[in-house]
């Protein structure tokens, strides 16, 4: 059977029949639209796939995510490549409920980039592609008990946790290889361009004294610090803080490039938490040179937000000075996977 091409799937999505299911969460609650989309997706699935979709909330799979492709880090759950047209349409409605329009564009483009990698050879066609992304559901969506949803695949992971109808969506990983398609019919197609351009803009708006505080090293780390399983790798903010004027505007725009990927109501809650903790406490740190187009690393770190970005030169590349491989992660210190909310929930509802 010929593999359905991702872009064809998007075209079919527009004309597919809409399927709806009644969510147990009222639509006016933060998790209502997400719960409705999850339950609609589950209702659209064939029974055997519905069984693959569902996990207990405390299943270890809930915290198992990776930036690696499926053939190196096998996933569980429902693989997008297994879906029929109607099931795929319901899956995309779920992604649209989890993400903003900006985030949905980035996520689907990242999946499409995997098609480019898969076209390299017969072997890579079995290793990369938009069909190797997975959806999992944990617990009972819309119910009173905690529940969650995970989207996971190569260079893309969003971990949704709902506790007492409050929604968190971290860790959230968006990456790209290649960040700009170098050849073929889609040559020049770029993803994560805002993360790159805005990072350089802020770095190069710093005064010499600020740059001395912000630049932690001229050399680069091997990868982002808070890789999967390294949630606590960065505890103390470093770099320059209390930015004002144009620098503050650039920092706010850069933060919004990440937070704005997520469902708008969740993004507003993240922005409010940053303001309540004081935006002046956000630190901006940099590693590498200031020249645009070079391989660099940066992070934004404060009491309620941790963002990491790196652009590296891919191994075995024919363009040794082209950092065309990007990793990013967005985290909420202390509340990734809803851990802080879960502690509160258990204290309030499960104490003897």
- Residue 317's pLDDT band (cuts 50, 70, 90): low
Mean pLDDT computed over 154-180: 95
- pLDDT tens-place string over residues 241-299: 999 999 999 999 999 999 999 999 999 999 999 999 999 999 999 999 999 989 999 99
String of DSSP letters for 311-336: EEPPTT-S-TT---EEEEEEE-TTTG
Q: Which two tokens stand for residue 174?
A: 């968006």
Mean pLDDT computed over 46-52: 97
Average pLDDT score, the chain: 88
Q: Which two tokens stand for residue 238?
A: 């470093």
* Beta carbons of 142 and 31 less than 8 angstroms apart: yes
- Residue 24's pLDDT band (cuts 50, 70, 90): very low
Those residues whose C-beta lies under 8 Å from the C-beta of residue 317, and which sit 6 or more positions away, are: 324
Mean pLDDT computed over 134-156: 96
Confidence check: pLDDT of 25 > 50: no
**Per-residue confidence (pLDDT) for residue 16, from 0 to 100:** 35
**Per-residue confidence (pLDDT) for residue 123, from 0 to 100:** 85
String of DSSP letters for 124-147: HHTT-STTS-EEEEES-TTSSS-E
What 3-state DSSP class applies to 160? Answer: strand
Cα-based distances in Å from 243 to 233, 247, 284? 25, 6, 9
**Per-residue confidence (pLDDT) for residue 314, from 0 to 100:** 64
Confidence check: pLDDT of 9 > 70: no
- Residue 316's pLDDT band (cuts 50, 70, 90): low
Confidence check: pLDDT of 351 > 60: no
Q: What percent of the chain has pLDDT over 70?
A: 88
**Per-residue confidence (pLDDT) for residue 320, from 0 to 100:** 53
**Per-residue confidence (pLDDT) for residue 20, from 0 to 100:** 33
**At which residue do the structure tokens 């001229």 appear?**
218
Specify the long-range contacts of residues 308-317, CB closer than 8 Å, at least 24 apart.
308/224, 308/225, 308/226, 308/234, 309/195, 309/196, 309/199, 309/224, 310/220, 310/221, 310/223, 310/224, 311/179, 311/196, 312/220, 312/223, 314/177, 314/178
Mean pLDDT computed over 97-116: 95
- Residue 29's pLDDT band (cuts 50, 70, 90): low
* DSSP code at position 27: T
**Per-residue confidence (pLDDT) for residue 319, from 0 to 100:** 52
- Per the model's pLDDT, the better-predicted residue between 16 and 161 turns out to be 161
- Residue 346's pLDDT band (cuts 50, 70, 90): confident
For residue 100, count other CB atoms closer than 10 A to its CB: 18
């Amino acid at each position: 059977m010929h593999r359905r091409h991702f872009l064809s799937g998007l075209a079919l999505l527009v004309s597919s029949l809409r399927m709806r299911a009644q969510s147990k969460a009222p639509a006016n609650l933060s998790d209502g639209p997400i719960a409705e989309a999850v339950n609609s997706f589950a209702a659209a699935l064939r029974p055997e796939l519905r069984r693959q979709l569902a996990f207990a909330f405390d299943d270890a799979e809930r915290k198992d995510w990776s930036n690696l492709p499926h053939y190196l880090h096998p996933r569980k759950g429902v693989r997008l490549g297994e879906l029929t047209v109607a099931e795929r349409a319901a899956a995309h409605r779920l992604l649209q409920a989890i993400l903003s329009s900006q985030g949905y564009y980035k996520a689907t483009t990242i999946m499409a980039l995997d098609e480019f990698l898969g076209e390299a050879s017969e072997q890579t066609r079995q290793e990369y592609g938009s069909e190797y992304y997975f959806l999992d559901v944990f617990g009972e969506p819309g119910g009173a008990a905690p529940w969650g949803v995970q989207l996971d695949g190569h260079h893309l992971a969003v971990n949704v946790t709902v506790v007492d109808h409050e929604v968190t969506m971290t860790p959230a990983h968006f990456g790209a290889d290649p960040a700009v398609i170098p050849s073929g019919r889609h040559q020049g197609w770029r993803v994560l361009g805002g993360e790159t351009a805005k990072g350089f803009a802020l770095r190069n708006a710093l005064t010499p004294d600020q740059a001395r505080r912000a630049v932690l090293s001229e050399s680069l780390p091997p990868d982002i610090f808070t890789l999967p399983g390294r949630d606590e790798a960065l505890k103390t903010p470093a770099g320059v803080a209390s930015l004002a004027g144009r620098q503050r505007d650039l920092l706010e725009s850069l933060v919004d490039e990440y937070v704005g990927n997520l469902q708008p109501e969740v993004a507003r809650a993240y922005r409010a938490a940053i303001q309540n903790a004081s935006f002046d406490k956000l630190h901006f740190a940099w590693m590498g040179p200031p020249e645009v187009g070079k391989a660099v690393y940066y992070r934004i770190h404060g009491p309620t937000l941790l963002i990491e970005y790196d652009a590296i030169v891919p191994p075995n590349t024919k363009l040794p000075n082209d950092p065309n491989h990007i990793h990013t992660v967005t985290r909420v210190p202390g509340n990734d996977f809803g851990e802080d909310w879960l502690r509160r929930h258990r204290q309030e509802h499960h104490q003897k």
